[in-house]
Structure 1
Amino acid sequence: MALPAAQPAEVLRAWQKDDLYEKQLAESLARLMPSHHAPKAAPLSSVLYKFFTTLKELQTLGEEYSGIVQVDETYHKLPTFTSRLLSILLSAFGENLTRKILRKAEKSVEHSTALRPEAQNTFLVIIKAVNNMVPQIESIHRALSYIKGGPLQIGKSITAIDYVHVRPAAAAYYAHLRLLGIVTLLHAFISCGQSIYQAKKNMDLMRDFPNEVDSSKSCVACLEEMLQPCVLHCGHIFCMNCCYGALETCALCRTPFTKNTVVPLMNYYPGQK
């Protein structure tokens, strides 16, 4: 007879406990690491914490506190070693990996000679919009977990890992948790809608003014408010962070440029008349 599926409230309690311990471990690791490697402490602490618990077929401290155990899709067996390892790596590095893939796709589109400039602009804006929506995808998954149950981490859902109770739950389904899930879901959808609207706005801008200086208050490259505008030798204007950052070709006309040809506009404000 299969054990009962874990209630969303118990899964949330376990996740909160484990997140607290992982953050404490990350703070300790950050003090031992050089300052320029300190950002790596958080994913490393997550991997170490799960290595000595989940990978050893043991409950984490949070799971033990809530009385839940990880199981595979049959609800009768522990997840395989491969599933557990993959879920740990996805939880620790999944977002960074996704962003790297998107950046690589963006560079491939920028340097593509097979695409027309209009198509390049469209693809670049779509990639930027998807990149902005990455945190919202995680929020949507978490909201669905609040509403219908299941793991909070996307990595566990991808590897078909779930939870069951090994002792009676402290409480039944919490109504306020379902309400929190609905509110979180609505907020995530609104944020995604804003990103899509901004992407469409910038696509319309590039279609209407493909060869003119951008007079919008938003930078076409990063879709953010343009601060410290700079002009390229092709005549198009972007914010300083993009010109001196990852941008290597003009996002409007695809003209290559070097950092020493970028000219800051000290007394120019986008949108002024």
Structure 2
Amino acid sequence: MALPVAQPAEVLRAWQKDDLYEKQLADYIARLLPSHHAAKSVPISSILYKSFTTLKDLQTLGEEYSGIVQVNDSYYKLPSFSSRLLSIFLSAFGENFTRKLLRNAEKSIEKNGSLRPEAQNVFLVLLKALTSMIPQIISIHRALCYMNGGPIEIGKSMTGIDYVHVRPAAAAYYAHLRLLGVVTLIHSFMSCGQSFYQAKKYMDQMREIPNEVDSSKSCVACLEEMTQPCVLPCGHIFCMQCCYGALETCALCRSQFMKNNVVPLMNYYPGEFK
């Protein structure tokens, strides 16, 4: 007899516990690394934590707390070693790897002399919009998990990993979690729409003034002309509205930062030192 599929609330509870333990481990690792390599503590902690649990066919601390176990799409067997290894890689490096692919695609388009300038601008802006929507794509996946169940991490979904409940009685489906999923989904789609709107607005500006628009003077987070530039601890520069607003990690290198570490640049104008 097959075990019951894990309820979304149990999967979420396990993910929250594991995320807490990984962040604590990342803090310890960051203290051992030089300051300019501190950002690497996050993927290192994720790999170490999952290598000693998931990769060895053991429950993580969060999964043990919630009483759930990883299974493959048959719901009868544990995931294969290759599936678990790939899910760990995607969890640790998937987002950064995707961003690098998009940046490489931007560079390829910039160097492609066979494309017309108008088409080149369209592709570049769409790629920038897609890059800015990566957090929203993650949120959409998470919202669907709140509503329909399944693993919170995209890497597990891509490798066919799911969860079953191993305790005698499965937890009830919480109505408020479904509501949270709906609200998260609406907010994510609105954010994606805003990114496309900003991309279209930027394309219209380039179409109207094709020789005067300088992308080096635009904030890569909101795709608008940079006003009141601020620098993050990692060295990347964004407009003040983004730094003190929606951004929680650097849009370029994904380094986490605190709002009180943002430094306004009073006499700096983007592009003036080119």
Instruction: Name the structure 2 match of 1:252.
Output: none
After TM superposition, give the deviation of residue 263 of structure 1 in Å.
3.3
C-alpha contact 1:67 1:169 (8 A) present in aligned 2: no
Give the distance between the partners of 1:145 and 1:168, measured in 2 at CA: 23
Give the distance between the partners of 1:39 and 1:192, measured in 2 at CA: 27
Instruction: Name the structure 1 match of 2:69.
Output: 69
- Are 1:51 and 2:51 counterparts? yes
Structure 1: tracts of 5 or more residues without a match: 230-239, 247-261, 265-273
RMSD: 2.3
Give the distance between the partners of 1:157 and 1:209, measured in 2 at CA: 44
Structure 2: tracts of 5 or more residues without a match: 230-235, 239-251, 253-270
Instruction: Name the structure 1 match of 2:88.
Output: 88
Deviates more, 1:168-177 or 1:94-103: 168-177
State the identity as a percent: 71
C-alpha contact 1:30 1:41 (8 A) present in aligned 2: yes
Q: Equivalent residues in 2 for 1:258-269 (5 A)?
A: 263=272
User: Quick check: which has more Rg, 1 or 2?
Assistant: 1
Deviation track 1:87-128 (CA, whole Å, cap 9, x = no partner) reads 011011100000000000001111111111111100000000
After TM superposition, give the deviation of residue 214 of structure 1 in Å.
4.2
Give the distance between the partners of 1:169 and 1:127, measured in 2 at CA: 47
- Are 1:23 and 2:32 counterparts? no
Structure 1 runs of 4+ with >2 Å offset: 168-171, 213-216, 218-222
Alpha-carbon spacing, 1:6–1:46, altered in 2? closer, same or farther (3 Å) = same
Alpha-carbon spacing, 1:24–1:63, altered in 2? closer, same or farther (3 Å) = same
Instruction: Name the structure 1 match of 2:166.
Output: 166
C-alpha contact 1:6 1:68 (8 A) present in aligned 2: yes
Q: Give 2:80's aligned amino acid.
A: T
Alpha-carbon spacing, 1:127–1:168, altered in 2? closer, same or farther (3 Å) = same
Query: TM-score if structure 1 supplies the norm length?
Result: 0.81
Alpha-carbon spacing, 1:61–1:241, altered in 2? closer, same or farther (3 Å) = closer
Instruction: Name the structure 1 match of 2:233.
Output: none
Deviation track 1:157-182 (CA, whole Å, cap 9, x = no partner) reads 00000000010356300000000000
Give the number of equivalent residue pairs.
235
Instruction: Name the structure 1 match of 2:103.
Output: 103
After TM superposition, give the deviation of residue 227 of structure 1 in Å.
2.9
C-alpha contact 1:22 1:46 (8 A) present in aligned 2: yes
Q: Give 2:272's aligned amino acid.
A: V
Q: Give 1:130's aligned amino acid.
A: L
Instruction: Name the structure 1 match of 2:60.
Output: 60
Query: TM-score if structure 2 supplies the norm length?
Result: 0.81
Give the distance between the partners of 1:215 and 1:155, measured in 2 at CA: 37
